[in-house]
Amino acid sequence: MKQFSIQIILLIFILTMSNRNYGQDELSVLEGPYLGQQPPGLIPKLFAPGIISTENLEIEGVFAPGMNEFYFTRQVRGNEVKTHAFQYEDGVWKKFMDEPRSGEVFISTDGNTMYLGNKYRERTASGWSEVKSLGPIFEEFPIMRLTASEDDTYIFDERDEIGTIRYSRLIDGKREESKVLNNEFNTGKQTGHPYISPDESYIIWDSIREDGYGNADLYISFRQEDHSWGLAINMGEDINTEHEDRYGSVTSDGKYFFFHRIEWQEGKIEKANIYWVDAQIIEDISPKP
């Protein structure tokens, strides 16, 4: 009788443990660069399946400069949207952020500022500061994503049905009023989420256009010799699909291109995951002399 009771207790314990909803990050020790993931080739693949890209909804994935922090947005269905982040420390990746989302994260090239649309946070000795305003000249814009170059040129969008991409330079230490980029950028609808490369040699953004593959596609424009911006180039069928492909950026080491893909079904989001691919695709797209 005593042996039978022990077996019942053991069975209950096993069933309880097997039904517990563990996240993959709780079960695995993540070691090595890029959260220990095998790098992709020229065909995009899910980033960190089961860890970052799961059955929940994950978008807006970015590495901070130095490649020691990874930020992304996750919504467990039915719950609030949160910003999550992993940090690489002592050879192991550990989760260090799990908080309500306050904006679309972009980390400045020096790693000290977290841009959140028309707001920002500063890195401190104890972590990130409270959210602050970028100032009056940006408060009027409902910005989704703002990114910045090494020279502190801002590229950002306005959240509306059409979408408008603007820029603002830092001239002699003073921030200029924003200006609208040309029609190569501001054509189509739901245009947004711009990314400017650190050296300002190209800008990547997404938009719904007639020449696209279905829903939103990713586009790129390269800086010309006369410093103007070149034609908008669709990033091609390996990146863009009939689904919603958005939020492109390149890792600070220049090796990988990240974006997310959202799949809709009957007016509801069915899947949302983060993808990565070898950044050689940008060189392949670039017009040759």
The more confidently predicted of residues 49 and 1 is 49
Q: Which among 33, 23, 36, 44 has a CA at the least distance from the CA of 260? A: 44
Residue 72 structural domain = 27-285
Residue 16 lies in a domain: no
Task: Copy the structure tokens of residue 142.
Answer: 């409902």
Q: Looking at residue 17, what is its pLDDT? A: 35
Residue 90 lies in a domain: yes
Q: What percent of the chain has pLDDT over 70?
A: 90
Report how far residue 115's alpha carbon sits from residue 259's, in angstroms, rounded to the nearest whole number. Answer: 18
- At a CB cut-off of 8 Å and minimum separation 6, what does 132 contact? 119, 120, 121, 122
Q: Looking at residue 231, what is its pLDDT? A: 96
Write out pLDDT tens, residues 12-62.
Answer: 333 333 333 334 444 467 889 999 999 999 999 999 999 999 999 999 999
Q: How confident is the model at residue 93 (pLDDT cuts 50, 70, 90)?
A: very high
Residue 20 lies in a domain: no
Q: Looking at residue 28, what is its pLDDT? A: 63
Residue 86 lies in a domain: yes
Domains of the chain: total:
1
Write out pLDDT tens, residues 250-286.
Answer: 999 999 999 999 999 888 899 999 999 999 999 999 9
CATH of the domain at 145: 2.115.10
Residue 65 lies in a domain: yes
The more confidently predicted of residues 31 and 243 is 243
Q: Looking at residue 25, what is its pLDDT? A: 43
Q: Which among 239, 238, 201 has a CA at the least distance from the CA of 218? A: 239
Position 9 pLDDT exceeds 60: no
